[in-house]
Amino acid sequence: MAVPLTDQEKRKQISVRGIAGLGDVAEIKKTFNRHLHFTLVKDRNVATPRDYYFALAHTVRDHLVGRWIRTQQYYYEKDPKRVYYLSLEFYMGRALQNTMINLGLQTACDEALYQVTAHLCVSAHLSVSFSGRMKYDSVVLAMPYDTPVPGYHNNTVNTMRLWSAKAPNDFKLQNFNVGDYIEAVLDRNLAENISRVLYPNDNFFEGKELRLKQEYFVVAATLQDIIRRFKSSKFGSRDPVRTSFDTFPEKVAIQLNDTHPALAIPELMRILVDIEQLDWDKAWDITCRTCAYTNHTVLPEALERWPVYMFEHLLPRHLLIIYDINQKHLDRVAALFPGDIDRLRRMSLIEEGDPKRINMAHLCVVGSHAVNGVAQIHSDIVKSSVFKDFHEVDPDKFQNKTNGITPRRWLLLCNPGLAEIMVERIGDDFLTDLYQLKKILQFVDDSAFIRDVAKVKQENKLKFAAFLQQHGQVKVNPDSIFDVQVKRIHEYKRQLLNCLHAITLYNRIKLEPKKSFVPRTVMIGGKAAPGYHMAKLIIKLITSVGQVVNNDPAVGDRLKVIFLENYKVSLAERVIPAADLSEQISTAGTEASGTGNMKFMLNGALTIGTMDGATVEMAEEAGEENLFIFGMRVTDVEEMDRKGYNAREYYDRLPELKLAVDQIQAGFFSPGQPDLFRDLIDMLMNHDRFKVFADYEAYVKCQERVGELYKNPREWTKMVIRNIAASGKFSSDRTISQYAREIWGVEPSSVKIPPPNEPPFVSQS
């Protein structure tokens, strides 16, 4: 049975979370019990933890829905510009605890649940639905599922809308009626397959017809929804400008998250020209002023290039619109650069070849008023390389918007101990203005503060070590360096470099077993796309190395290698606060930004990394001397590309690298299948685009610096404090404010919507 919070613990939670006092505990208990009894029809004699979870979810929902409805009323009354962020995938994390924190209910819920002996659970969806129509070669209904997204202590609850494909009720009913039941069911499944499984797009474009249907499905449903809302505005019925769409870009902003929703551009043109009967030039002006595009990758294989024949089959009208867009675009380029045929070829939306393909990134650039990368180095590469020709034509169109993370989830929720000691020293303003963390620099030499920061880290490591053991993983030494690399498994992220270093450490211990070594627990986590053979081999290598290292008695607890299975947001919330070292080791110039690097920094992990993605800006903010930076810079990589990269040169010159590679190749880590990693070794030796061997020596030496500093806990923790203090730039609040002002044309508002218990707005409807 859980023990109620002590008065001291209550005060700490209140101060950390900025939550109102405990006066609501009785109300929470009453509502909780009401839902347990009347919604779930259970009492405590038969209720399961799942029942308690749903009773809590319903209780929190009761506090949420009033704010959600009030937010929509407020938007209807004020008629502000609305921003629609179109993405094919969202990694939201669990919602329930985040909602309790943002609504100011966490402490009251904690205490109420302790008093009724239930355990705190997380995650909830609330959903409402209605249907609208869209067409491919047949009719499919798009049913919205809405999830509330509450702001932090401001009573605003916005909406994340997901779409589910449903077959119409009359779908091939005639087949069913004449007895062809199987055909009727198969046709229905084909329609609903559109949203049943999302193709995992892991920086590699795979031109599958179902994926194209998915992309059009979400775009078509969303645009119909946007236009319905635009026309049904409070002022729409008496404003002829609404029906002419003159004010559409002043009331609607559409942000395209990568090229997956690129079809929004021809779809909006189709609606404006074919349905609303606007002339082409006016429709194009409206479309361009409404849409903006965020690029997320510089890898050429990740950029979507759809075969023309697929559009001819599925979306013939959209193909004609794209042809028209391309013709007008090329006419403009030809006028600016007369006779430059090669430039026209490079900038065309249609790539000649067998088959002809539509370059969706080019479509996004041409059809948007703003194009941005997600870290300064990435945005510079976008302008100088990926879209160089387009930047020369429209330089003012290109911007940078460095990614950010929310400190509410990635500090307050996942690391309350660290948040607490920040609150004690500088107050809680940093939760909404992360730059306030700079104030902790005044305590960088304060022994008590250093001790508190180190204590929180050690407590988090002990918790995660227990979690690993509880879930069947290896028993780890909590005094070791928790060396963590968690991200999608991909060659450019270079988990292989990390693995080679782990093998090198193992060989050093075996060579000198009596020598003193700084203990280290190497944790690598992430998922591989189902069809990505090399990524799966990388995972297999990590687990195989772990199997040997972790069971070698000569190594003991000085080194462990662990693959974190089923990596997801909820696991990240556990491992990131426990990490000592954050691995950000992609080849310079390949990582767009990264956000894991920011989460680790905010939670007190030091970074070992290349000058790539947002790590460059982290080094600028904290000082390069406070990160472990190694390896080639972008200019070095470009120079190596010109000269040619020869992996064997490093293999022959570096004995420790040669030994590690030879062990993998000989089957030392896969004795039952010696040639298991043949393809992986062949890639590393003969066609490694990401130059793992070229950075191996610098990486190993940099890791030696890590070990030396770790032996001095005071200096290590002082560097941790400097990193936390420098993490203010990487708040998503800053990121979204920049998008709002510089792309969407809206001013962020500090207006706090009146709560539901105050008189409602007067409605004219």
Q: What tokens were used for 737?
A: 């404010």
The predicted model gives 274-278 an average pLDDT of 95
What pLDDT score was predicted for residue 135? 39
Element (H, E) at 300: none
Q: Look up 455 and say whether it is catalytic.
A: no
The per-residue pLDDT for range 84-115, each reduced to its tens digit, is: 999 988 888 899 999 999 999 998 888 888 88
pLDDT at 120: 38
pLDDT at 761: 45
Q: Which of 211, 251, 329, 493 is catalytic?
A: 493
State residue 162 phi and psi, 5-degree precision: -110, 150
Q: Which one from 94, 317, 332, 488 is the annotated catalytic residue?
A: 488
Round to whole Å and give the CA distance between 557 and 468.
15
Q: What pLDDT shows up at residue 600?
A: 98
pLDDT of 172 reads: 56
Q: Decide if pLDDT at 13 tops 70.
A: no
pLDDT in tens, 210-244: 899 899 999 999 999 999 999 988 766 556 666 78
d(CA 171, CA 460): 55
- What are 476's two structure tokens? 């780890």
| pLDDT tens digit sequence for 624-676 | 999 999 999 999 999 999 999 999 999 999 999 999 999 999 999 999 999 99
Highest mean pLDDT among 292-306, 465-479, 586-600: 586-600
Q: How confident is the model at residue 281 (pLDDT cuts 50, 70, 90)?
A: very high
Rounded percentage of the chain residues whose pLDDT exceeds 70: 88
Contacts of 507 (CB under 8 A, 6+ apart): 656, 659, 660, 663
How far apart CA 204 and CA 196 sit, in angstroms, is 21
Token pair recorded at residue 519? 């203990």
Handedness of CA 281, 741, 83, 77 (dihedral sign): negative
Q: If you average pLDDT over every residue of the chain, what do you get?
A: 90
- The pLDDT, as a whole number, for residue 168 is 72
Mean pLDDT for 713-718 is 98
Q: Work out the number of other CB atoms within 10 angstroms of the CB of residue 550.
A: 17
Question: What does the pLDDT read at residue 184?
Answer: 60
Pairing, β 357-359 against β 305-307:
antiparallel
Least confident of 101-115, 157-171, 707-721: 157-171
Query: Could you say which of 487, 490, 718, 722 is catalytic?
Result: 487
Within 10 Å of residue 362's Cβ, how many Cβ atoms? 25
Structure tokens given for 355? 């088959």
Give the pLDDT mean for 341-361. Answer: 97
pLDDT above 60 (res 134): no
Catalytic residue among 59, 595, 607, 610: 595
Tokens linked to 718: 């002082």
Residue 488 appears among annotated catalytic residues: yes
Q: Which helix (H) or strand (E) holds 178?
A: none
Integer Cα distance of 375 and 617 in angstroms: 8
Indicate if the pLDDT at residue 442 is higher than 80.
yes
Assess contact for 631 and 703: CB atoms under 8 A: no
Residue 329: active-site member: no
Picking from 103-117, 260-274, 524-538, which range would have the lowest pLDDT averaged per residue?
A: 103-117
Asked if 711 is an active-site residue, the reply is: no
Smallest Cα–Cα separation from 703: which of 555, 479, 481? 481
Annotated catalytic residue: which of 397, 408, 599, 718? Answer: 599
Specify the pLDDT at position 753.
Answer: 86
CA separation, residue 452 to residues 342, 448, 497, 714 (Å): 62, 6, 34, 11
**5/674: higher pLDDT:** 674
Phi/psi at 278 (5° precision): -80, 155
Cis omega (within 30 of 0) for bond into 713: no
Can you tell me whether residue 259 is helix, strand or coil? coil
Q: What is the pLDDT of residue 475?
A: 93
pLDDT at 763: 38
Span between the terminal Cα atoms of the chain, in Å: 52
The H-or-E segment that residue 31 falls in is helix 25-34
The confidence score (pLDDT) of residue 186 equals: 66
Only one residue has tokens 């997901």, namely 162
Pick the CATH number of 477-713 from 3.40.50.2000, 3.30.70.360, 3.40.390.10, 3.40.50.970: 3.40.50.2000
- pLDDT tens digits, residue range 39-76? 999 998 899 999 999 999 999 999 999 999 999 999 99
DSSP 206: -
**pLDDT greater than 60 at residue 173:** no
| Residue-range domain boundaries for the chain | 197-400, 477-713
Q: Are 207 and 306 in contact (CB under 8 A)?
A: yes
Token pair for residue 705?
């610096």
Is 568 part of the annotated catalytic residue set?
no
31 is catalytic: no
Q: What is each CA distance from 120 to 57, 63, 241, in whole angstroms?
A: 10, 17, 51
Q: What pLDDT was estimated at residue 747?
A: 93
Mean pLDDT of 376-384: 97
In this prediction the pTM is 0.91
Q: Are 426 and 439 spatial neighbours (Cβ–Cβ below 8 Å)?
A: yes
From the list 82, 234, 296, 508, the catalytic residue is: 296
Output the six-digit token pair for 661: 């590679």
Find the mean pLDDT for residues 680-705.
98
**CATH topology match: 197-400 vs 477-713:** yes
Q: Please report which confidence band the pLDDT of residue 189 belongs to, taking 50, 70 and 90 as the band edges.
A: confident
Instruction: Please tell me the CATH superfamily of domain 197-400, with its number.
Output: Glycogen Phosphorylase B; (3.40.50.2000)
CA dihedral 87, 88, 90, 91 (to 10 degrees): -130
Is pLDDT of 161 > 60?
Answer: yes
Q: Is 522 helix (H, G, I), strand (E, B) or coil?
A: strand
Are 586 and 378 a contacting pair, CB within 8 Å? no
